[in-house]
Amino acid sequence: MIIIPKHVKNLSPYKAGKPIEELAREKGLKKIVKLASNENPLGPSPKAIEAIANHINSLHRYSSPKTLRLVNTIAEKYNKLPEEIIAASGSDSLIQYIVSTFSVEGDEVLSSEGTFIGWYVSIDKYDRKSINVPLNNYHIDLNGILERITGKTRIIYLANPNNPTGTMFTKSEFENFMSRVPKEVLVILDEAYTIYAEDIPGYPNGLLYNMENLIVLRTLSKAYGLAGLRAGFAVGPAYLIQELYKMRLPFEPNSLAQEAAIASFNDDVFLKETIRMNKLSLNMMKDKFDEIGIRYIPTSANFYLLLFPDEEFAVRFNEECLNRGLILRHVKNFMIPNGIRINSGTKEETEFALKIIEEVYFILLDN
Ligand SMILES: Cc1ncc(COP(=O)(O)O)c(C=O)c1O
């Protein structure tokens, strides 16, 4: 018998939002809307689809090991040096590479309660000692995190806007924070939702900083609509990025993901429509939540965190929505047991979702 390491035995696998086909099979429903994984409801950019079609016949070839065209495209777009950039199969995989590259078993890492589940999963996988500071009114408590830094702290993880709360910290809060973090502590700034937030006054764009202890993460999974392909990238000082290259699996992201990413960066029309649709859907949701009295946290991203009286209410709410064909995300595993997250959809999806939400909410209030 092989002895399984204790920390692996204790792991719970990443729990994603329920796939549409699975719910359809389980419940025999005709119509299903999924607003559970913060995906882009418009689908991928038509330019990405075209790029994939153009490269499909080269699938028998390995891609460029340093993903040169993609890295150069990112460098040009964000005015960075190619040595400051590494791409991989999603920012989730970059989080794992960063943890395994810059810390060892038993090191302390710091973050927040109520943040991205992928961070918690990575930390447990690598058996790091993790400290998670409670949220302050559903915002990441930067001062609280500063107070918990010790000589053993190696990495701090911050998502801005944060998932699942949708809240953000400002440029001045971030700069004050960075000025007080020791230079030996690496800060990961995860900007998965930055495209939805960058027009908000005071939002700090991480790619405008050049700091020796800062790595910024971006993903193609959200506004760019490529979640299924798996592509993300990290930007940081070259001396850190070169170490990540040693740990990354060769040929990540896959060749089609690279081509689709390059094409998506060139589709401003698609991005504009994505932002327009997001605002429209979130406004429809806000109006309905205000009308029927569901509590939600104001958002800077493409989703709302809904808050219910307790965990049991949230579980039942989620279940009743599923029964009617609406997939949402209960965020207990993000350490918010009474929370349900809903992301923006098309107008039609949003109307469908709000009808179900209203119906279910009043049924549960009456019981
Ligand atoms: C804050 C945050 N970071 C990273 C990710 C994962 O992105 P990717 O699909 O690139 O792994 C998500 C997805 O939900 C997220 O919310």
Give tens-digit pLDDT for 46-75.
999 999 999 999 999 998 888 999 999 999
Helices in the chain by DSSP H: which ranges?
Answer: 6-9, 20-27, 46-55, 68-78, 91-102, 117-125, 142-147, 171-180, 194-197, 238-247, 255-265, 268-292, 311-323, 347-366
Please compute, for residue 144, the number of CA atoms within 13 A of its CA located in the half-sphere on the CB side: 14
Determine the Cα–Cα distance for residues 121 and 101; give it in Å rounded to an integer. Answer: 16
Q: Is the pTM of this model over 0.75?
A: yes
**Phi and psi of 336, rounded to 5°?**
-125, 85
Determine the Cα–Cα distance for residues 304 and 163; give it in Å rounded to an integer. Answer: 9
CA dihedral 71, 77, 79, 83 (to 10 degrees): 0
DSSP annotation of 338 reads T
Tell me if 108 CB under 6 Å of ligand 1.
no
The minimum-distance atom of ligand 1 relative to the CA of 227 is 9
Q: How far is the CA of 219 from the centre of ligand 1 (A)?
A: 7
pLDDT of residue 137: 97
Domain ranges of the chain: 6-44+269-366, 57-265
| CA 83-86-90 angle, 5° bins | 170
Residue 258 one-letter amino acid? Q
Model confidence pLDDT, tens digit, residues 282-306:
999 999 999 999 999 999 999 999 9
Does the domain formed by 6-44+269-366 have CATH 3.90.1150.10? yes
Q: Locate 109 and state its tokens.
A: 């890492």
- Whose alpha carbon is nearest atom 6 of ligand 1? 92
Q: How far is the CA of 168 from the centre of ligand 1 (A)?
A: 16
The minimum-distance atom of ligand 1 relative to the CA of 221 is 9
pLDDT of residue 16: 73
DSSP annotation of 3 reads P
- pLDDT above 70 as % of the chain: 100
Domain 57-265 fold is: Aspartate Aminotransferase; domain 2 (3.40.640)
